Amino acid sequence: MVGGRPKTGGGSGKKPGPAAPPRQPWSAREIALDVLTRVETEQAYSNLLLNQALLKHKPDKADAGLATELVYGTIQRRNTIDYFLDRFVAKGVKKLEPWVRNLLRLSLYQLHYLDRVPEHAAVHEAVNIAKRRGHAGISGMVNGVLRNVIRRKEELIVPVSLEPVARIALEHSHPEWLVADWVRRFGAETAEKICRANNEPPSASVRVNTLKLTREELLGRLKEAGCEARPSDVSPAGIVVESGGNMALTPWYVNGELSVQDESSMLVAEAAHPEPGMQVLDCCAAPGGKTSHMAELMNDRGRILACDIHEHKRELIAAQAERLSLRCVETKTIDARNLPEALAGTAFDRILLDAPCSGLGVIRRKPDIKWAKSPGDVAGIAELQYELLSGVSSLLAPGGVLVYSTCTVAEEENEQVVMRFLQEHPEFALSRPPQSLQDRLPADSVAPGGTITVLPHQFGSDGFFIAVLRKRS
């Protein structure tokens, strides 16, 4: 050896040994393990890492589906899984190396929550992964823990004797601080329904472009193509697609006949009630779903100025408008905090502030959120929301409407921001949304003042908050 490397020049005359066998393609469980470990150690978003991993390793459809199930399912059930594993890991789950901890997590998820994965397959591959990544001691520990789990599966239950917050948090795998807040606001029964809904797979929903066809026409086309679809109960423009693949890859999407959008999100443009010919400002508009919905409601007549702080996101808004053949949408790259100065002297008939938020209403789509956020994060973002709301309100014409919306169900980011705004801006008052919108919602979704809160369990849609604020004439 020279300098730690084998000689490459003439020498012993010995023939080189056989080449090492090529590395086998990564299995679904290896892909999931890598994503889960990086999510934990790098505080990265699981959906982004998973998409990158699937593009890199190109698993077949079945393995891609299993990897996706393991990543999202393991994150969704994380604290319940850790609670169970602590019974079988002598030194406790938290003291294990991150990759070992996540290997046990995704394995227990298969053994406890999935009924279509053979137990021997889950254990066998976990042990093999442990051998490749670690040493004999680790693989032996993994084997012992998982076989012990199988022998004692009947013990994997959450005690019903726990007080409600602790029981709900463990039964449905949510942070206790979040469950405690929902129990305080909505009661234990509703809090449990929210948590249960957050662990269910999100449904696919689309919004019909009514400038091109009716909802009934699009439903007919979907059904002719073999898709299972039904009208949304939440939005008159919405369709729930229960089977039919990725709607963004369909001809209807390419031709601008539909947009992929959650049902709750469709209520925002309807609450703003923009009319043809109006001047509209959308302050934080990316990726453009609400912008384009307002343009469709306006029959593409008038002007919508859609803004975002990031240029690549502004491009998304512009691309959406072009795909849908909307000409009334203009786009601008700007921080919403700078809009009052940049647009001084301009008066808009409608302003939409879909504010940046904690995202606690979209946990079923992004399960990482419930573990990444803390009460301090919620309080901190509420300050930014108030700053944005207070600033852009100066751009509203007398008699105009400002809609404040979020995809969170945190009181600090919703009702408290609005109440503070109304106290400090007496020229504004809460206004009730259109009656046709209220009629489609449960009575307790519309507060006496008119604010709307849609909870995840009510329609299987995202949790959302909407407040309609009218400026006095």
**Would you please indicate which residues are annotated as catalytic (active-site) residues?**
407
Q: How far does the chain reach from its first CA to its final CA, in angstroms? A: 87
Among 281, 279, 395, smallest CA distance to 340 is for 395
Rounded Cα distance between 453 and 444, Å, is 8
CA dist 384 → 113, 155, 220, 361, 461 (Å): 40, 46, 44, 18, 26
CA distance 202 to 207: 16
> Considering Cα of 178, then 181, then 184, then 187, what sign does the dihedral take?
negative
Helix, strand, coil shares, percent, the chain, to 5: 50, 15, 35
| Three-state SS annotation for 258-297 | EEECCHHHHHHHHHHCCCCCCEEEECCCCCCHHHHHHHHH
For residue 414, the 8-state DSSP code is T
Integer Cα distance of 256 and 249 in angstroms? 12
Helix (H, G, I), strand (E, B) or coil at 316: helix
Q: What residue ranges in 345-446 does DSSP mark as E strands?
A: 348-354, 396-406, 428-431
C-alpha 51/C-alpha 448 separation (Å) is 43
Find the DSSP H helices in 43-175: 46-57, 61-76, 78-85, 98-113, 119-133, 136-151, 164-171
Angle at 118 between CA 112 and CA 120, to 5 degrees: 100
Q: How far apart are CA 383 and CA 249, in angstroms?
A: 39
Q: Count of CB atoms within 10 A of residue 171's CB? A: 18
